[in-house]
Each structure stands twice: as structure tokens, then as C-alpha cells.
Structure 1
């Protein structure tokens, strides 16, 4: 499990892609600090993946077809920057919100607007996910825990401070880019257990 508080940004240094599968090797100073072990979980752009090889400052992970279809990881190339978060330890402080690393889908960045000291990002999302998108609710975008500031059936907005833009890859995003979306797990269970509820 994760919290959506990004601990570092890494870079793809090696990529072996075949059809809808891929093996990614990432380099990050964060890995020197946390010293990941084989089999550890790490969220890459909000996607929970397993470390299959590790070295001092590099981690290798494998991407399976389901992950490629649901996320933006299939669009990565050598040199791409990615958000990183190691799995939450039971003794750790809980910031952000409950993030599983199970990405639901991707959304497209459609607007980027300054609001005094913040930048408001607006995304287009399939209407089937509208029941899980609520104003002032939580959402993970490329693994970043954020608060929804506005929403309708096909769009939602979030507001980011300069620190978040500088310390995550969301600051790199341009109009038309796809981002990973994980809706709030608590909201999913509530909706699924209502009469006529749907299961994302």
C-alpha cells in the first residue's frame, strides 16, 4: 500500500518492450537511500510493480499486458522521468490517502491554468468513472495524492502548489498527455455496495 506522497523522481535508463509487455530499469538517488530488495513493491507513476533486479541506484521491474492497457507506462521511453514511492511501512506516518497502486485508467490533460500561487490542471476522464470522482475527494494522479477541486461527468480539476509541480513529474505534463488515475478505494466499495452500484 502507498499514500500518494512521492518520495523521489527516477529516470528510465533501459527499456525492453515487446508487444504489451516491458522490462524497465530505473535509476534514482532514492534507491541509494531506501535500498530496495528483490520482491519489494514500488509505485512507478502510481502503478504498483515488483522489483525483479536491484543494484545501488537502479531497480528493474516488469510490466505485464494488463498494466500496459490500464496505465501510461507503455508510453515510457529511455530518458522518461517517473514518480517513485516505496511501499508504506506499518510504522510510518500516514500522509496523503490510501493508495493501492492499482491504476484504474488514464485521463488526458485538457487545461492548465494559473490561479495565483497554484496551477489548476483539468483532465478528461471516461464517464464510467464519474461515480468515484467527487469534489473535495481524493484521487491519485501518476501516483500523487491530490484533492479534486471541481468535477462534471467527463472532467475534473485539481490544484497544485509549486512544490508538487517541482518535485513530481506532474510539472512536466503538457496538454494532451495521459496520466494514470486511481480513484479512492473507499469510494469504490461504497458505490459497489449500493443498490445498482457498479464495480470499477
Structure 2
């Protein structure tokens, strides 16, 4: 589990193909590895990776075909920068929101504009994820916990303050950049819960929440 508050920006030091899978070695920059051990999790661009080997300034992780197909790592090579965050502990400040490191899909940056000292981005999510994105809700983009400031269909706006731009890879985002997207967990679980007994039916409507189901649950009068 993570919070989406980036601790360091590292870079990919080595990409080693292993059949259809790959092993990545990631140089960790200023990330403190003194309390990291084999088997621990480190979020890399929002992807929960398991440490399989460790040095004083890097770790290696195996990426399956599932991870490569769901995330932007299939497009990143040696030298690419990545946002890093170690897993939370019981005493960690929850400065962002609860992030699992399980990426839902890729989103695309549609536009970038400077507004005062901030940077305003519009991104487009896959249509099937649009229902989980709401104004002033939380979203995780390449591992960064961010607030959605406006929504237009499957498009949503982010306003990035200078500190976030300086401490993450978001400074480099341009129109066309593909980013890892994880929607808010609470929205996903709520939708699943409201399907009730139908959730056990493999042929049930996967769209889940509707005006009818909201009314049955007592949310609409």
C-alpha cells in the first residue's frame, strides 16, 4: 500500500528481457534503501514492484506480461526516469490517498498550459474508467496522488503546483504522453458492493451502478 507522495525520482539502469517478461534494474537516486529488504514493495511510476535483488543504490524487479500490457513500462527503456515510493508503514503520514500500486490502464495527456506558477494538464482516460473519476476526487497518475479539478466526459484536469513538478516526473509531461492511471479504490469497491448478489453471476452486467441500483440501495428517493 502507498500514499502517492513521491519520495524520489530514479531511472531505469538496465532492461533484461527474459522470454516474454523482463527484469528491470532501477537506480533509486535519493531514495533511502537502508530499511528495504528482498520481497519488499516499491511503487515505480505507480506500479507496485517486488524487490528481487538489491544494491546500495538500486533494486531489481521482475515485470510480467500482465504488468507490461497494463502499464507504460513497455514503452520505457534504459535511462527513463521513474517516480519512486516505498510501501507505507503503520506510522506513515497519509499525505496523499490510499494507492494500491495496481494500475488500471494508461491515460494520455491531451494538453499542457502554464497558469501562473502552476501547470494545468488535461488528460483522457479510457472510457470504461470515466465513471470512477470525479471533480475534487483523488487519482493516481504515474504514482503521484493528485486532485481532479474538473471533469469533461473521460477527460479530467490536473493543476500541478511547483513543488510537485520539481519533485516528480510530471514536469516532463507533454501532449501525447502516456501515463499509468489508478482510480480511487473506494469508488471501485463501492460499485462492486452495490451489485449485490448479481456479482456472483459471471453473465451479470459489468457496468454495476445505475440509477435503478442506486434507488434500490436507498441513495435515490
TM-score normalised by length of structure 2: 0.85
User: 1:79-118 residue pairs with structure 2 within 5 A?
Assistant: 79-118=79-118
2:9 counterpart of 1:2: no
2 CA distance for matches of 1:146 and 1:161?
A: 11
Could you say which residue in structure 2 is the equivalent of 1:133?
133
Q: Secondary structure at the match of 1:17?
A: strand
**Distance in 2 (alpha carbons) for counterparts of 1:181 and 1:122:** 14
8 A Cα contact 1:130 1:152, kept in partner: no
Contact kept, 8 Å, 1:35 with 1:56, in 2: the verdict is no
Q: Is the 8 A contact 1:20 1:68 kept in 2?
A: no
Show the counterpart of 2:207. 198
Change (3 A) 1:142 1:20: farther
The whole-number CA distance in structure 2 between the counterparts of 1:166 and 1:81 is 13
How many residues end up aligned between the 2 structures?
199
Aligned to 1:27: 27
Q: CA deviation at 1:130?
A: 1.1
> What's the secondary structure of 1:112's corresponding residue?
strand
2:178 maps to 178
Retained in 1: the 8 A contact 2:11–2:27? Answer: yes
**What residue ranges of structure 1 are gaps of 5+ in the alignment?**
none
SS of corresponding position for 1:193: helix
Higher strand proportion (structure 1 or 2):
1
Query: Following superposition of structure 1 onto structure 2, how do residues 16-55 of structure 1 map, counting pairs within 5 Å?
Result: 16-18=16-18, 20-55=20-55
CA gap of 1:117–1:188, structure 2 versus 1, over 3 A, is same
Q: CA 1:94–1:68 in 2, change beyond 3 Å: closer, same or farther?
A: same
Offset, 1:91: 1.3
Shift of 1:152: 2.0
1:132, 1:116 → 2: CA distance? 29
Cα deviation for residue 193 of structure 1 reads 2.5
Tell me which stretches of 4 or more aligned residues in structure 1 moved more than 6 Å.
none
Report how far residue 127 of structure 1 moved: 1.1
Secondary structure of 1:122's aligned partner = strand
Larger Rg: 2
Instruction: Out of 28-37 and 50-59, give the one that drifted further.
Output: 28-37
- Structure 2 match to 1:155: 155
